[in-house]
Amino acid sequence: MNTAVFVVGIGVISGIGNNVAECLDSLENEKAGIDKINYLSTNHRDLLPVAEVKLSNTELSAISGFAPSASRTAMLSMIAAREAWDNSGVKDLPGLRTGFVSASTAGGIDKTEDFFTSFLADNSKGRLRDVINHECGNITTMVAEKLGIKNHISTISTACSSSANAIMYGARLIKHNILDVVVAGGTDALTRFTLNGFNTLMVLDDQYCKPFDEKRNGLNLGEGAGYIVMVSERVAASLKQAPYCTLSGYFNANDAYHQTSTSTNGDGPYMAMAGALAMSGLQPEAIDYINLHGTGTQNNDSSEGAAIQRLFHPHYPKMSSTKSFTGHTLGASAGIESVFSALAIQQGIVYPNLRLQNPMVDFPFAPETAFSKQSGLKHVLSNSVGFGGNCSSLIFSKL
């Protein structure tokens, strides 16, 4: 069995930028993508801030190559996955077994909502073509076909840990010599279904979110897509450019505590982080930076914080939540944050946790509040916590 998995390509689109370079510029200059709702048709337009991608469906269509009638989720996926695919240099190598593993929680719900708006007003109206890509797997298939990937296509949907689990699955396909190359990550567009659902749970902040702040009041939803390209050691050695990093450890756990909440003592995040460390062969003090799940809700931040205290005390790495920039992009979040983690390793970056003014009093640590370059950054841990107790951690390591 192969043991090393190398990250050789990255691609992203989010509320802070339409590609990797734009997102990195926003992170460095502390420019959040959260703002008033502009594109989503909703009664909450003036009430709940979100981090929308700053492009209309017509503009996304022109960039992605999909028709304007396609799901916004598919267009976001195509843009980020193609950037990662092009960035990797892999597509120029012949004879490789390639796969596309993509995550989503919304799928084509945005187009289904368009159908039902017309249908409910008049049951003779509504375009049935708007519902044919409702299912998450259809989005994956559409993008894989555009990329020309045919050997393996899979879709993962495990709530907010979806992209992390897609990346884990892709890494296992490489480790077990089933595939040579996998594009893995996830995509989600904002929908009325998602916004209304989270609002019903009373976890949305009507101001800009403040992850890991004592006075945090909830999350801001976002949208986007993020993908990494992973390859075997043999393929990595044949590429002209150096890999960004390796994926040295990963683990998925479930605390089975509650449908929408995480255990108060952090069992789920603790098991995920501890498992990823065990796989990588690293001790907790080897981690230099944690990209926190950090949604800004009372439960999530307390649970993740408790897990970090249990595992890392008394030596705490630097940490921050980039959801303070991008909002919570649900099924896309771990894909986007994996791109940020790969960049952190490659360029020695620690990202700021925006709007943090009052660190949580229960913990002896606090996230970073300023963008910085760190020499000697070797290992980055990225956390994802999903509904149903589904928790995942990824570790990215310097070559």
Active site residues: 160, 293, 328
Q: Cα torsion at 212, 217, 220, 225 (round to 10°)?
A: 30
Cα(179)–Cα(8) distance, integer angstroms: 15
Nearby residues of 94 by Cβ (< 8 Å), 6 or more positions away? none
Question: In whole angstroms, how far apart are CA 75 and each of 44, 225, 397?
Answer: 24, 9, 31
Class of residue 385 by CB neighbours under 10 A (exposed 0-12, middle 13-18, buried 19+)? buried
DSSP tag of 180: S
Cα(111)–Cα(71) distance, integer angstroms: 6
Helix, strand or coil, per DSSP, at residue 79: helix
Judge contact between 345 and 382, C-beta under 8 A.
Answer: no
Length of the chain, please? 399
